[in-house]
């Protein structure tokens, strides 16, 4: 890598991120069925109908995984606490689930890793999905109850709590585009989910404030969006796409409003009196998590219904996901967020990474493309810091190869290779390169 730890401000955190369902093994420890289990069981939804039942078996191997995180010289570890593990039916507590996270947090602290918790990284208990999931307003209050339960157990030891991971994926990708659980293509359900996921954030944040927590935020994903050509309709389509993907959540949280371009489509289907929730949604946060992966080019499709837009991957080199590698987009978002929305508020890059078709050969995974990827995105982060943006840390996605949702186990994002037959962990060349760069 072309940087060293001291190229970043003192106290800048380097870490890796994971999420519960993608690594733990949901069949263990009394966790309840989630809407991902049922989505995966439906034909054509997930590659080979794979699910998170075993995943990386982190449930039994977390000590080894955290040893590897510590040995890489990392400062922090981003993880999520599965609602369905802690409350299998979404309402009643599973003591084993609480014990697991209690031990996990202690194991991080024993290794000198700051625990960065995310409350919801997509494991909606099936019992709540049956009642309408995120289209149902009641789910927000239930999420508040889950927040209370898990925070009462581990809140005294976590460095940071993010309420929701990537609300765009929870709401739009899952209820409008149908690519993630629950796999709906329904504008009414999508409009409600777009609002309710923010109401859940606001509800959880209020519960956390009641407990005196002052290390709270949310993790949003951003996708660099540009018009594909000079056609004014393409410019409009790109603006609408940007409003849905990049502005809806951050504007609600920081300004208490939704962008007009997005409301044009959603307003007729929104829950009644949604405006009354905006005060709760826009309570101040303590930090913002930014997930960034790629750029999309947008063309107009006036023959189609709203949002009259078609997105395609940008023209540059692609990852195994087919996503364009576009580090400038990260710099641009960090600056845009500071300038337009959060000012001096601490920002963490909570996810950035790439999938590649990695193989172990003679005990080695030589992932040079990932080394360049990380280097270039950390350079973009450094540029943003030089531009005056208050970026406090960077978490690579992901520590381990894992369950990549609708793509099953096929896409490998990890710094550490996982053989899904034997579950053997093999640190990749990128793990070793990052370790050398961030060594003290
Ligand atoms: O694997 C996901 C993660 O769960 C959320 N952010 C994007 C990653 C890569 O697709």
Give the residue numbers annotated as catalytic, written as ranges. Answer: 166, 351
Q: How far is the CA of 242 from the centre of ligand 1 (A)?
A: 19
Q: Whose CA is nearest to atom 1 of ligand 1?
A: 404
User: Region 283-308: what's the mean pLDDT?
Assistant: 97
The closest-lying atom of ligand 1 relative to the alpha carbon of residue 397 is 8
Does the CB atom of residue 291 touch ligand 1 within 6 A?
Answer: yes
Does the CB atom of residue 19 touch ligand 1 within 6 A?
Answer: yes
Q: How confident is the model at residue 165 (pLDDT cuts 50, 70, 90)?
A: very high
Q: How confident is the model at residue 132 (pLDDT cuts 50, 70, 90)?
A: very high
Model confidence pLDDT, tens digit, residues 214-249: 999 999 999 999 999 999 999 999 999 999 999 999
- So what's the pLDDT on residue 15? 99
Does the CB atom of residue 404 touch ligand 1 within 6 A?
Answer: yes
Q: What is the DSSP letter of 34?
A: B
- So what's the pLDDT on residue 387? 97
State which H helix or E strand residue 332 sits in. helix 328-337
- So what's the pLDDT on residue 291? 98
Q: How far is the CA of 205 from the centre of ligand 1 (A)?
A: 23
Q: What is the DSSP letter of 433?
A: H
- So what's the pLDDT on residue 221? 98
User: Region 384-389: what's the mean pLDDT?
Assistant: 98
Q: How far is the CA of 118 from the centre of ligand 1 (A)?
A: 13
Model confidence pLDDT, tens digit, residues 302-351: 999 999 999 999 999 999 999 999 999 999 999 999 999 999 999 999 99
Does the CB atom of residue 401 touch ligand 1 within 6 A?
Answer: no
Does the CB atom of residue 134 touch ligand 1 within 6 A?
Answer: no
Residue 384 contacts residue 377 (beta carbons within 8 Å)? no
- So what's the pLDDT on residue 134? 99
Phi-psi region of 416 (alpha: psi -120 to 50; beta: other; left: phi over 0): beta
Query: What phi and psi values does residue 34 have, to the nearest 5 degrees?
Result: -120, 170
Does the CB atom of residue 21 touch ligand 1 within 6 A?
Answer: no
Query: What phi and psi values does residue 258 have, to the nearest 5 degrees?
Result: -110, 145
Model confidence pLDDT, tens digit, residues 97-106: 999 999 999 9
- The model's pTM: 0.98
The closest-lying atom of ligand 1 relative to the alpha carbon of residue 22 is 4
Q: What domains lie within the chain, and their CATH numbers?
A: 5-437 (3.20.20.80)
- So what's the pLDDT on residue 147? 99
Residues in the chain: 440
* Nearest residue to 375 via CA among 356, 352, 358, 393: 352
Q: What is the DSSP letter of 169?
A: I
The closest-lying atom of ligand 1 relative to the alpha carbon of residue 355 is 9
* Nearest residue to 375 via CA among 427, 324, 425, 325: 325
Q: Whose CA is nearest to atom 4 of ligand 1?
A: 19
Residue 29 contacts residue 399 (beta carbons within 8 Å)? no
Does the CB atom of residue 351 touch ligand 1 within 6 A?
Answer: yes
Residue 145 contacts residue 91 (beta carbons within 8 Å)? yes
The closest-lying atom of ligand 1 relative to the alpha carbon of residue 291 is 6
Q: Which of 405, 407, 409, 415 to mutate to test the pocket of ligand 1 (most atoms within 8 A of CB)?
A: 405
- So what's the pLDDT on residue 204? 99
Share of the chain above pLDDT 70, in %: 100
Render the burial of 185-200: b for 16+ CB within 10 Å, e for the rest.
ebbebbbbbbbbbbbb
């Amino acid at each position: 890598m072309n940087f060293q730890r001291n190229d970043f401000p003192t106290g800048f955190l380097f870490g890796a991120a994971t999420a519960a369902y993608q690594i733990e093994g949901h069949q263990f420890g009394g966790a309840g069925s989630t809407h991902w289990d049922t989505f995966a069981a439906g034909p054509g939804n997930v590659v080979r109908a794979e699910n998170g039942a075993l995943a990386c078996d982190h449930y039994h191997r977390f000590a080894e995984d955290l040893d590897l995180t510590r040995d890489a010289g990392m400062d922090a570890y981003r993880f999520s606490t599965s609602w369905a593990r802690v409350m299998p039916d979404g309402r009643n507590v599973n003591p084993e689930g609480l014990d697991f996270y209690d031990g996990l947090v202690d194991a991080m602290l024993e290794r000198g890793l700051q625990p960065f918790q995310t409350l919801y990284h997509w494991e909606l208990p099936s019992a709540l999905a049956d009642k309408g999931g995120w289209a149902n307003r009641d789910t927000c209050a239930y999420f508040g109850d889950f927040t209370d339960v898990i925070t009462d157990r581990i809140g005294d030891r976590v460095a940071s709590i993010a309420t929701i991971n990537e609300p765009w994926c929870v709401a739009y990708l899952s209820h409008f585009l149908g690519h993630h659980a629950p796999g709906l293509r329904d504008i009414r359900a999508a409009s409600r989910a777009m609002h309710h996921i923010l109401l859940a954030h606001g509800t959880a944040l209020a519960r956390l404030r009641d407990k005196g927590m002052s290390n709270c935020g949310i993790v949003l994903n951003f996708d660099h969006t540009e018009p594909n050509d000079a056609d004014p309709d393409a410019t409009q389509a790109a603006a609408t796409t940007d409003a849905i993907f990049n502005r809806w959540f951050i504007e609600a949280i920081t300004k208490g409003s939704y962008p007009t371009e997005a409301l044009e489509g959603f307003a007729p289907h929104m829950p009644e009196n949604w405006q009354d929730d905006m005060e709760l949604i826009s309570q101040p946060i303590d930090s913002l998590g930014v997930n960034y992966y790629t750029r999309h080019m947008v063309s107009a499709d006036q023959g189609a219904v709203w949002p009259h837009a078609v997105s395609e991957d940008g023209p540059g080199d692609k990852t195994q996901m087919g996503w364009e590698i576009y580090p400038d987009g990260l710099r641009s978002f960090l600056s845009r967020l500071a300038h337009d929305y959060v000012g001096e508020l601490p920002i963490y890059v909570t996810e950035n990474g790439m999938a590649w078709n990695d193989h172990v050969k003679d005990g080695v995974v030589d992932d040079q493309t990932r080394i360049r990827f990380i280097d270039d995105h950390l350079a973009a982060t450094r540029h943003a810091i030089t531009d005056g943006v208050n970026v406090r840390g960077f978490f690579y996605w992901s520590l381990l190869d894992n369950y990549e949702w609708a793509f099953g186990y096929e896409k490998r994002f990890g710094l550490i290779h996982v053989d899904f037959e034997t579950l053997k962990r093999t640190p990749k060349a990128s793990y070793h390169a990052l370790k050398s760069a961030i060594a003290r």
